[in-house]
Amino acid sequence: MSKQINVALIGNPNTGKTSVFNALTGLNQKVGNYPGITVEKKEGICKLPRGVKAHIIDLPGTYSLNASSLDENVVIELLLNKNDKDFPDVAVVVCDVENIKRNLLLFTQIKDLKIPTILAINMADRMAYKGISLDIPHLEEHLNTKVVLISTRKKTGIPELKEVIAAYKELSIEPCLNASEIDKDYFANLQKAFPNQLLYKLWLVITQDVNFGKMDRNTIDAVADFKTKSNIDLKRLQQKETIKRYQFINNVLKEGQAIDLSTAKDLRIRLDRILTHKVWGYVIFGLILLTIFQAIYDWSSIPMDFIDSSFASLSEWTKTTMPSGTLTNLISEGIIPGIGGIVIFIPQIAFLFLFISVLEESGYMSRVVFLMDRVMRKFGLSGKSVVPLISGTACAIPAIMATRNIESWKERLITILVTPFTTCSARLPVYLIIISLVIPEGRFLGLSFQALTLMLLYLLGFAAAVGSAWLLNKILKIKSKTFFVVEMPNYKLPLLKNVAITVLEKTKAFVFGAGKIILAISIVLWFLASYGPGDDFNNAEAIVTEKYTNADITETDLDHHIDSYKLEHSYIGITGRAIEPAIRPLGYDWKIGIALVSSFAAREVFVGTLATIYNVGSDEEETIKNRMAGEVNPVLGGPLFNFASGISLLLFYAFAMQCMSTLAIVKKETNSWKWPVWQLFIMTALAYISALIAFQLLK
């Protein structure tokens, strides 16, 4: 049985740490949360030489061990707690070859914790391009560690990194410098008061107010023969420590690094001038969005049609092959159509995540954040608010969690409240099927009307978020002042492996997360649609047969009338009829009403609900799209899903609160039910009024 060791990947943001993690673990990884908090935790397994197996944990990006956010606190508390199951046997500090000086600050701090530490210098393929040369033996000698040059793009250095990790016991754990020289007497007294504790751990506990074991700042303050400095004095000492570390780093890099600026070929400045231009920057961003939405439609049409017809055939095959009875009906009319209602959208959702991943990997997304700061300021937000708003295109829940890096409570609260307006991937299935039913297939300047409609819905959600933020900024009387700082990473070609893993993991999380809800709701809906109270349901066949005794109709038409009558008098039909008066002015019938209510569990359930309802009792091999197109408006006649009712539905879903999970996370992040309740009330009212006006004007 091979031994397993814990390996922590640590580094500044934008050093390619995730690329190194993917190169080491491949698909042997999982994403979760740290116990008790909502910070994302990525971990995976890697096979090393010498029969060693490594448990790799990708820690949140941090610039130093001087924590200023919840993410950075996670890093510090793990490195302090030897009893934590994830405490690293060895730490790998991933460093960007173009920012070695800044990255080495974190490296020297971790070395002071006497953890075996490896310096992995990433993006080595850019050294010649940037005119950088490194004296590796010199760096290893003065940093007391092994230095590995790697390039995840060129796939070099990873085997050497694995070798060094496997031989971690041979690494020196001695610090690079003696940071306690900044105040010898103070640190001597601290060590004397706690002779069995590591000095730098004590210093972190005092300055960061974090815990390790049973030790915290109050414990240290309570020791009689040691007096802690004031907060002002501690801040000054921290500054002295940082200066001393940079003095050491500068001395090491004088001999260990050379940069020949004459050979550096940098297009970054010229690209930034265009991509962040106050006019062209927005034009280019708009064109990129148009291209994305056009591609989502054009590229996914073939696989979607195949999935749609396959599930319809599977449902029919199940019904004709399995013995007739309740179980067969459940599978063919409940489970298969329900799951098919979400699986059909995998191609489009995968393409959406593909494009978002490419934009992030290339470094362009940071430019968008910088660009949009100019707009956000006018509405009481900062550029940092763009990150949750853009993240909201995947899911509102992690997007709302991402507001934790916004320092101002007012800006953070406003961002939390308006983020659900952003079109999430769960709304995408609803938009796609309604657009395909009510928007014609023509083109304008080469762009399809359907793709333009989809883009307009995304822009509408963003405009609603920004407009609401402006109103909240005027209404909420909370004083705050913040500064916007964003790091611009270098432009780079996205790594195919990173993009593929991101698309696979995100799509899998979406499908399986939604799948559980859809499967449960499909079974419940099938039961409610297949059974009903009283004689109307139980004697449906006799009642309908008697009604059409003298009518000249085929047996197939008679069966259809019986199925419709039973559905109308089933439990779900009775419930739908009860809420129909409230939604009829919007152009909806009771079936759409059921789908609206059930989709509050998860937006994508809307399509699965209609798929289940429309399939109950049906023998025809027909796709969900064809069934929806064939529905007739019981009041006005004509197709139920026409231009007026379609636009009404699209607007309702554009403005309505996303789902109950979003409400729960808003409650958790604001620590109050006040905000989510107001959020639900106002967004629902806005959705209803917008849908009502649209239908009444267009019908």
Q: What is the DSSP string of 246-311?
A: HHHHHHHHHHHEEE-GGG----HHHHHHHHT-TTHHHHHHHHHHHHHHHHHHHHHHHHHHHHHHHH
Q: Please give the average per-residue pLDDT across 492-498, as a whole number.
A: 80
Model pLDDT for residues 245-288, shown as the tens digit of each residue: 999 999 999 888 887 765 555 667 788 888 888 888 888 888 88
Same-domain pairing of 469 and 320: yes
Same-domain pairing of 405 and 373: yes
Does the annotation place 398 within a ligand binding site?
no
The verdict on residue 205 lying in a domain is yes
pLDDT at position 35 is 45
Same-domain pairing of 200 and 76: no
Q: Which of 163-167, 259-263, 573-577, 662-666 is predicted with the least confidence, judged by mean pLDDT? A: 259-263
Same-domain pairing of 161 and 194: no
pLDDT at position 34 is 43
Is residue 107 very low, low, confident or very high in pLDDT (cuts 50, 70, 90)? very high
Does the annotation place 12 within a ligand binding site?
yes
Same-domain pairing of 350 and 471: yes
Does the annotation place 639 within a ligand binding site?
no
pLDDT at position 619 is 46
**Among the three residues 460, 475, 490, which one is the final residue of a domain in this structure?**
475
Does the annotation place 17 within a ligand binding site?
yes
Q: Which of 158-162, 517-521, 589-593, 679-683 is predicted with the least confidence, judged by mean pLDDT? A: 517-521
Per the structure, the count of domains in the chain is 3
Q: Is a pLDDT exceeding 50 seen at residue 28?
A: yes
Domain that holds residue 184: 179-263
Which of 16-30, 105-119, 331-345, 492-506: highest mean pLDDT?
A: 105-119
**Among the three residues 108, 139, 170, which one is the final residue of a domain in this structure?**
170
Does the annotation place 576 within a ligand binding site?
no
**Among the three residues 137, 170, 203, which one is the final residue of a domain in this structure?**
170
Q: How far is residue 87 from each of residues 82, 106, 119, 193, 367, measured CA to CA in Å?
A: 6, 17, 18, 26, 36
pLDDT at position 287 is 85
Does the annotation place 587 within a ligand binding site?
no
Model pLDDT for residues 618-673, shown as the tens digit of each residue: 444 456 667 777 777 766 667 878 888 899 999 999 998 877 767 777 887 787 88
Rounded Cα gap, residues 607 and 593, in angstroms: 12
Q: For residue 323, give the 3-state DSSP assignment.
A: coil
pLDDT at position 694 is 93
Is residue 224 very low, low, confident or very high in pLDDT (cuts 50, 70, 90)? very low
Q: Is a pLDDT exceeding 50 seen at residue 69?
A: yes
Does the annotation place 123 within a ligand binding site?
yes
Q: Which of 140-154, 196-210, 379-393, 424-438 is predicted with the least confidence, judged by mean pLDDT? A: 379-393
Same-domain pairing of 243 and 365: no
Does the annotation place 16 within a ligand binding site?
yes
pLDDT at position 620 is 46
Mean pLDDT of the chain: 80
Model pLDDT for residues 433-453, shown as the tens digit of each residue: 888 888 888 887 777 888 888
Distance of CA 27 to the CA centre of its chain: 18
pLDDT at position 651 is 94
pLDDT at position 223 is 61
pLDDT at position 549 is 77
Does the annotation place 256 within a ligand binding site?
no
Does the annotation place 25 within a ligand binding site?
yes
Does the annotation place 340 within a ligand binding site?
no
Does the annotation place 11 within a ligand binding site?
yes
The verdict on residue 49 lying in a domain is yes
pLDDT at position 106 is 92
Does the annotation place 51 within a ligand binding site?
no
Same-domain pairing of 289 and 249: no
Does the annotation place 14 within a ligand binding site?
yes
Same-domain pairing of 412 and 381: yes
Same-domain pairing of 119 and 218: no
The verdict on residue 304 lying in a domain is yes
Q: Which of 12-21, 100-109, 380-389 is predicted with the least confidence, judged by mean pLDDT? A: 380-389
Model pLDDT for residues 295-330, shown as the tens digit of each residue: 776 777 788 778 878 887 888 888 888 888 888 888
pLDDT at position 89 is 93
Q: Please give the average per-residue pLDDT across 87-106, as a whole number.
A: 90
pLDDT at position 513 is 62
Model pLDDT for residues 397-425, shown as the tens digit of each residue: 667 766 766 767 788 888 899 988 988 77
Q: Could you tell me the pTM of the whole model? A: 0.60
Decide: residue 555, CB within 10 A, 0-12 exposed, 13-18 middle, 19+ buried. exposed
Same-domain pairing of 252 and 346: no
Comparison of pLDDT for 516 and 579, the residue scoring more: 579
Rounded Cα gap, residues 132 and 249, in angstroms: 17
Report residue 582 as tokens: 């409230």
Does the annotation place 38 within a ligand binding site?
yes
Indicate the angle between helix axes 540-547 and 555-568, nearest 10 degrees: 130
Residue count of the chain, please give it. 699
The verdict on residue 562 lying in a domain is no
**Residue 506: left if φ>0, alpha if ψ -120 to 50, beta else—which one?**
alpha
Same-domain pairing of 249 and 312: no
Q: Which of 422-431, 435-444, 508-517, 548-557 is predicted with the least confidence, judged by mean pLDDT? A: 508-517
Does the annotation place 228 within a ligand binding site?
no
The verdict on residue 667 lying in a domain is no
Does the annotation place 183 within a ligand binding site?
no
Same-domain pairing of 165 and 186: no
Q: Is a pLDDT exceeding 60 seen at residue 617?
A: no
Does the annotation place 1 within a ligand binding site?
no
Does the annotation place 127 within a ligand binding site?
no
Q: Please give the average per-residue pLDDT across 12-32, as a whole number.
A: 79
The verdict on residue 247 lying in a domain is yes
Does the annotation place 563 within a ligand binding site?
no
The verdict on residue 669 lying in a domain is no
The verdict on residue 691 lying in a domain is no
Q: Is a pLDDT exceeding 70 seen at residue 367?
A: yes
- What sign for the dihedral angle of Cα 375, 379, 383, 388? negative
Q: Is a pLDDT exceeding 80 seen at residue 352?
A: no
Q: In what order do the strands lie in the sheet with 29-33?
A: 29-33, 40-47, 53-58, 4-11, 90-96, 117-122, 147-149
Q: Is a pLDDT exceeding 90 seen at residue 88?
A: yes
Rounded Cα gap, residues 417 and 67, in angstroms: 27
